[in-house]
Amino acid sequence: MVSQDWMEKDFYAILGVPKDVDEKTLKKTYRKLAREWHPDSKPGDAAAEQKFKDIGEAYAVLSDPEQRKQYDAVRAMGGGARFTAGGPGGPGGGGFEDVFAQMFGGGGGAQNVRFSTGGGGGIDLEDLLGAFGGAGGFQPGGGQGFPGGGQGFPGGFGQRGQRGTAKGQDVEARTAIDFRAAASGDTVTLSKPDGGRITTRIPAGVKDGQKIRLRGKGMPSPVQGGEPGDLILHVTVRPHPVFGRDGDNLTVDLPVTFSEAALGATVAVPTLDGGTVKVRIAPGTPSGRVLRVKGRGIETSKGTGDLLVRVQVVVPQRLSDAAREAVETLRDEEGAADPRSELMRQARA
């Protein structure tokens, strides 16, 4: 939706850029000005604070291709004229009729301008109003429309009640947090495009690559009283050297000795909070078997996952003479048993 400020303010002049400025130069210039005029660098300076707001408003419009197109159209057609509720000669100088007379070449007021709702010959008022951010405020024959016709332009463009409804531009930011902080929740401070800073809480259980929408933390609306945009936060979770994640479950690889796997044992498993939990390794547990510890995973608002413990049988790199003799005895006890026979049978099937 178009603000009357668009008729009165030269956003290109505010930013000190030419009208054909490209996106890269526009952003670079904006960031430089935002740092220069940020209220934190000029405390108590009301003029600097207003300048900072004007810079933010100008960038919000010019950085959005659609809004920039509409702004250029409005400025080209209306120049610096102001729309007022008074007619020709009324309070405030030239009125709405004078603007249309200037825009379309009429010398004696709006009676020299032809309007139509579509079709050949005249000016399509709905298309014209589209350049100002939306039609629908005019109906031939009264009702909604111009001064004296009920709802209309005086006090804002479009229908009354729509003033200040243009939402500000959404912005994006990125942050990286530790694995443990992602599981328990964290508080981060972010830099905004306008030079400001925002502190926000990242909820417990956030995942790597997840996007969080912070309502109302984006760019301000280009119109007075409009809703600000949102800030889209992209979260990167740094990997942990011990723990992994599978949905809301935590995963951990647990090394066990051959004897523990063969004979059975009760061993300690680390938990994400820095503690441990005991698990029972059943006799004959093979490498790769997963043991589940209930309720020791990622806690979220929807519930808590489990801790999945993957057994990894560790083969000793060196054997003492006694250990070697024991292993050789085990081999002799196994005899001709072939643990790969079933694998071969299935492979041939």
Q: Under CATH, domain 171-237 is a member of which superfamily? A: Urease metallochaperone UreE, N-terminal domain (2.60.260.20)
3-12, 33-42, 319-328, 338-347: least confidently modelled range:
3-12
CB 141 within 8 A of CB 148: no
Q: Per-residue confidence at 234, pLDDT binned at 50, 70, 90?
A: very high
Judge whether 5-131 and 243-348 match in fold: no
The pLDDT tens digits for 141-195 are 344 333 433 333 333 333 333 445 688 888 888 899 999 999 999 898 887 766 7
In this predicted structure, the answer to whether residue 50 has a pLDDT above a threshold of 70 is: yes
CA distance 308 to 311: 10
**Would you state the CATH architecture of domain 243-348?**
Sandwich (2.60)
| Lowest mean pLDDT segment, chosen from 88-102, 149-163, 231-245 | 149-163
Provide the 10 A C-beta neighbour count for residue 5: 16
Q: What are phi and psi of 306, to 5 degrees?
A: -110, 170
pTM of the complete model beyond 0.85: no
Residue 151, Cβ neighbours under 10 Å: how many? 18
* CATH, range 5-131: 1.10.287.110
Residues 6+ apart with CB under 8 A from 58: 9, 11, 12, 14, 15
Q: In DSSP terms, which residues pair with 291 in a beta bridge?
A: 309
Higher pLDDT, 45 or 147: 45
233: pLDDT strictly greater than 50: yes
* Three-class SS of the chain: CCCCHHHHCCHHHHHCCCCCCCHHHHHHHHHHHHHHHCHHHCCCCHHHHHHHHHHHHHHHHHCCHHHHHHHHHHHHHHCCCCCCCCCCCCCCCCCHHHHHHHHHCCCCCHHHCCEECCCCCCEEHHHHHHHCCCCCCCCCCCCCECCCCCCECCCCCCCCCCCCCCCCCCEEEEEEECHHHHHHCEEEEEECCCCCEEEEEECCCCCCCCEEEECCCCCCCCCCCCCCCCEEEEEEECCCCCEEEECCEEEEEEEEEHHHHHHCEEEEEECCCCCEEEEEECCCCCCCCEEEECCCCCEECCEECCEEEEEEEECCCCCCHHHHHHHHHHHHHHCCCCCCHHHHHHHHC
Which percentage of the chain shows pLDDT scores above 90?
Answer: 33
Region 304-322 average pLDDT: 94
The pLDDT confidence band at residue 237, using thresholds 50, 70 and 90, is: very high
Domain-wise residue ranges, the chain: 5-131, 171-237, 243-348
Output the CA–CA distances (angstroms, integers) from residue 40 to 27, 47, 52, 198, 216, in the order listed. Answer: 21, 13, 11, 14, 21
